Structure 1
Amino acid sequence: MTIRTLTDLYIDQLQDIYSANKQALDVTKQLHDTATSRDLKTALADGAQGISQGMEQVKGLIRNRDADPTAEFCKGMEGLVKEAKAHAINADIADRDVRDASIIAQYQRMAHYAMAGYGTATAFAERLGFDGDAATLRRCLENTRSGDVRMTGVAVAEVNKEAMAA
């Protein structure tokens, strides 16, 4: 798609978010399967559910603009997924608590990328007068931010302490 207007750019950004979420969902499930901390596993399961809900919300916004949700492939998230696999899932980490700490670090990198995408798309929607879209995107942003804060809590309260003992 040739981008000629802010609306075109907005749709492109939504498609990028959809692709990023799809990739993040798959690797978050793998991170969940690799994690050992009960609290971390629960947070990752909830994170996967939140990502899935965000995907559905964004898909609806894209379709409301008569566009294809799958028309874009997010290279940025592709790199973050490769990093998550290399530094957490497939990494040669001997201690399970240290691996859990790495899982949190990788998950939070993906969450921060998602927050940047949601924030940008929200700003575009507001400028374009797409108030309903902006409200949906703000909720997605806040849900992602809440998941990130929760992950920090798991790290500080448990995982990092246990990893320090390794």
Structure 2
Amino acid sequence: MTLNTLEDVYHDQLQDIWSANKQALSVLTELGQAAKDEDLSKALIAGSNGIRDGMNMIESICSKHDIDPNGEHCKGMEGLVAEAAAHVLEEDFGDNDVRDAMIITQYQRMVHYALAGYGCLVAFANRLGHDDDGAVLQDCLNHTYDGDKTMTAIATGGVNAKAA
């Protein structure tokens, strides 16, 4: 597709964030299984549920605009997922708390990528007058921020101290 307008960019980025979420979801389940801290494991499960909800919302927006959400492959998230696998799932750890600290690191890298994507989509939707889309995407953005804050609290509330 040739991107000629902001509407074209908006459609492309809806597909991109859907792909990013799909890829993140695939590794998040494995990170949750690898986590030993109970709060971290619960937060990763909640994060998985949040990603699924976000994907459903994006699918609904795509349907409204007659867009196939599968139309794009997010190479940025592909790299972040590969990093998470390499640094958590394929790495040897002598201490579970150290692994948990690394899980949070990799999770937050993926989340920060999603924050950028959702932030841009909210701005595009609002500029294009897609107010309903903007509200839904803002909700996705807010939930993503909440997930990031939860991980920071888990890290600073105990995981990092145990890993040290």
TM-score with structure 1 length normalisation?
0.97
Match of 1:151 in 2: 151
Please state whether the residue corresponding to 1:70 is helix, strand or coil: helix
In the TM superposition, residue 4 of structure 1 has moved relative to its aligned partner by 1.4
Looking at structure 1, the residues matched to 113 and 96 of structure 2 have their Cα atoms a distance apart, in angstroms, of 26
Q: How does 1:23-62 map to 2 (within 5 A)?
A: 23-62=23-62
Match of 1:64 in 2: 64
- State the AA in 2 paired with 1:118: Y
Match of 1:112 in 2: 112
* Moved segments of 4+, more than 4 Å: none
Looking at structure 2, the residues matched to 9 and 23 of structure 1 have their Cα atoms a distance apart, in angstroms, of 21
- State the AA in 2 paired with 1:13: Q
Looking at structure 2, the residues matched to 106 and 100 of structure 1 have their Cα atoms a distance apart, in angstroms, of 10
Match of 1:86 in 2: 86
Looking at structure 2, the residues matched to 2 and 63 of structure 1 have their Cα atoms a distance apart, in angstroms, of 20
- State the AA in 1 paired with 2:58: V
Looking at structure 2, the residues matched to 86 and 92 of structure 1 have their Cα atoms a distance apart, in angstroms, of 10
Looking at structure 1, the residues matched to 89 and 114 of structure 2 have their Cα atoms a distance apart, in angstroms, of 20
- State the AA in 1 paired with 2:75: K
Tell whether 2:163 aligns with 1:163.
yes
- State the AA in 1 paired with 2:6: L
- State the AA in 2 paired with 1:155: A
Looking at structure 2, the residues matched to 18 and 157 of structure 1 have their Cα atoms a distance apart, in angstroms, of 32
Tell whether 2:19 aligns with 1:19.
yes
Looking at structure 1, the residues matched to 74 and 132 of structure 2 have their Cα atoms a distance apart, in angstroms, of 25
- State the AA in 2 paired with 1:106: Q
In the TM superposition, residue 158 of structure 1 has moved relative to its aligned partner by 1.4
Identity %: 54
